[in-house]
Each structure stands twice: as structure tokens, then as C-alpha cells.
Structure 1
Amino acid sequence: MIGRIVCALGLLACAASSIGAPYPVPPRAERGKANAACRPGEPGPAIRVKVTGIKDGEGSLRLDLYPANDTEFLAPDKELIAAGRPFRRIERKPLVAGTATLCIRAPEPGHYALSVLHDRDGDGKFAFLRDGVGFSRNPRLRRAKPKASSVAIKIGPGIGETQIVMNYRRGLGFGPVPVP
């Protein structure tokens, strides 16, 4: 009876206690990195990503794994983690022009969307004029982010493989770096 009265007087507090607290969000530099990188002898679920067309060795390369739906694909990492949604991140420094191979673990087998950022200026964000970007299934990039359905890939119980081609600003749009 007392519990009902307290809930009637403090509806929001009661609702919050019955739903549960959101997941803790780590500091920005650590978000998504726990259990993200493949381990030696990794059994999976994971995916090995060959990133090609890296323009130069400036900055770092960042591979992110997102849920494969338009609402959560490329959503802020803080929001995904707080909601307990799948999100993983690995970074590679130093970087070499050309190609790099990264391996990222998935929380469980399923459909996910991958994005790669060549953060050339090191600010942790995508800079349209400077940085490079690529997505799983290599969709043609336009001025808006691609639909999750165009980049969704299936990660099974083992280790899968895929290739992502980097795109950089070229004129008014984006495309792979021309090969000399």
C-alpha cells in the first residue's frame, strides 16, 4: 500500500526505478572499446575488415560497429551505450597509406553496419573537407549518410571477412582516391 502511494506521488521516480537505470557510459576515449578488438585465436563472432584506398599516413583509422537500422546507424556513441545497444570501436595508430586490416568483435551473431573514419586531423569527428570515410558493402556516397539497409552485413558465429574502400572529398562529392 505504501509503495502505491509513493508511486502515485512520485510517478517519474517510480517509473525510473521499475525500468532500471541506463547503462553507464565510459569516458569518450574508452567508448565502445571494451571487448571490441579481436583476440589471438578469436573464435568469433567477429569480422576482419580489409580497408583499402587509405590516402596517407596522417591521423588514425577508426572502425565502428553499429546496429543495422536507420535510427541507430551512426547515432552518437554515448546514446547507444547508455541505451545498452550494440556498439563497438577500434582504432589504429600509426597509419600507413594504402591498406590496413582491422578485426572487430560483434556482441552476438546478427546484422550490423560498419563505418570506417580516416580521422586525418585527429579531432575524433568527421571533417567533410579533410577526412575519409567508408562503409560496409561500399555504397556510393552522396551528401547524406547511407541507409542502414545499404550497408548492413551479416556477422555469423565465426570470423567473417569484408573489404571497405575509403572515400575522400573529390570536387563536390566523395569517391575513392585515384590510383596514379
Structure 2
Amino acid sequence: MFKIAAKSLAIAAAGTLAFAVSVPVASAQRQEISNDMRKCGAGASGPAVHVEVSGFKAATGRVRVQAYPATKGAWLEKGAWINRIDAPVSPRGGKMNFCVPVPDTGAYGIAVRHDVDGSGKSGWNDGGGFSNNPSLSLLSLKPSASKTAIRVGPGVTRIQVVLNYRQGMTIKPIG
């Protein structure tokens, strides 16, 4: 009985220690950052994701780019993002570029939201997109982590995200 109790105590202590260590690390990594394209430029060491966003419905409002761990438990969960860039929309040539550093190599998902009126609230006219550009519908606005997961290596990973907007009863790119 002593061996079983000691083993249970060790497992419980290890679980508590792992929990205590993992919470501050995750919190310390989550931050709103500026869009510093130098971190994705020539000679940048990464790991980072260079996100080219296209398909803006209008040159108004704000755009938000967020990186999440590509896990079922974290993907698109409130407060689970790692880094977030929030900027006014100014699409030169219909595109905007963002550099999103990530803490380590691995699988991540990128979510982009265009708040057309800049209200800070989601509305029917707002648009959005994800890494790997999965198809969306009114019944499926949140693709799975597996559909959006990208592999980020030690350098800079380049991706393109095309924004989707509600058009009648469909969700698709403008044009």
C-alpha cells in the first residue's frame, strides 16, 4: 500500500509541478505585438510566419492577425492565441503583409479578421480567413485545427490568406 500511495503522490506532484510551470510560460508568450516586418526580412532568423493577406472588401476598418497552436484544445479558443497584430487596414495593391513571430518551431494556425467598420465587434459585413485557406460556410465558420495547421521551421514561413465575406447565403472571397 505504501508503494501505491508513494507512486500516486509522485504522479500528483509531477502533475502539479507541470501545471504550475506551464501556466506562466503560456501567459508570458501571449502578447499583442506590432507588425515588425524586419523580423521576416532578409536574414531574419525566425521562427516566424510572413502572412500576406489579400481580398479586402474595403480599405476601411481594422485587421487582426493571430497565431494559435494548431491543437484541437487551443485553436480559436478565446485567449489561447500566442501573438496578435491589430492594425488599421491599408491594403496597397489589395494586399497587406504581417510578420508574426512564434515561440518555437512546430504546428500553428493563423486566423485573420477584417473588422470592416472598425467597431471591434463581429458583424455580418466583416471578413476573415485562415492559414491554408479552407472553405467556409454559414454552418461552418470555424475550420478545424488540422485544416489550418502549417509547419513553421526555424526560419520564416511564408503563407497567403485570402479573406472571405458573407455574400448572400455563402461565405467566399470577393470577386
Which TM-score band (shorter chain)?
A: 0.7 to 0.9
Distance in 2, Cα, partners of 1:154 & 1:38: 20
Residue 91 of structure 1 corresponds to which residue in structure 2?
86
Distance in 2, Cα, partners of 1:133 & 1:155: 22
Unaligned runs of 5+ in 2: 1-14
Cα drift, residue 151 of structure 1: 0.5
SS at match of 1:20: helix
Residue 6 of structure 1 corresponds to which residue in structure 2?
none
Q: Does the C-alpha gap of structure 1 residues 110 and 95 become closer, same or farther in structure 2, counting only changes over 3 Å? A: same
Q: Does the C-alpha gap of structure 1 residues 56 and 72 become closer, same or farther in structure 2, counting only changes over 3 Å? A: same
Alignment of 1:1-180 (within 5 A): 19-20=19-20, 22-23=23-24, 32-34=31-33, 37-40=36-39, 42-77=44-79, 80=80, 87-96=82-91, 98-127=94-123, 129-142=124-137, 143-144=139-140, 145-178=142-175
Instruction: Say if 1:53 and 1:177, in contact at 8 Å, map to a contact too.
Output: yes
Distance in 2, Cα, partners of 1:170 & 1:95: 23
CA RMSD of aligned residues (A): 2.7
Any idea what the Cα deviations from partners look like across 1:7-50, whole Å, max 9, x if unmatched? xxxxxxxx989953843969xxxx62258845455310001111
Distance in 1, Cα, partners of 2:136 & 2:165: 10
- TM-score normalised per structure 1: 0.73
Q: Which amino acid aligns with 1:116?
A: V
Unaligned runs of 5+ in 1: 1-14, 81-85
Cα drift, residue 66 of structure 1: 0.3
Distance in 2, Cα, partners of 1:60 & 1:113: 20
Percent of aligned pairs with the same amino acid: 36
Q: Does the C-alpha gap of structure 1 residues 155 and 125 become closer, same or farther in structure 2, counting only changes over 3 Å? A: farther
Distance in 1, Cα, partners of 2:59 & 2:18: 50
Instruction: Say if 2:110 and 2:148, in contact at 8 Å, map to a contact too.
Output: yes
Distance in 2, Cα, partners of 1:17 & 1:45: 28
Instruction: Say if 1:36 and 1:105, in contact at 8 Å, map to a contact too.
Output: no
Any idea what the Cα deviations from partners look like across 1:83-115, whole Å, max 9, x if unmatched? xxx611012224237111111101101000001
SS at match of 2:147: helix
Q: Which amino acid aligns with 2:119?
A: D
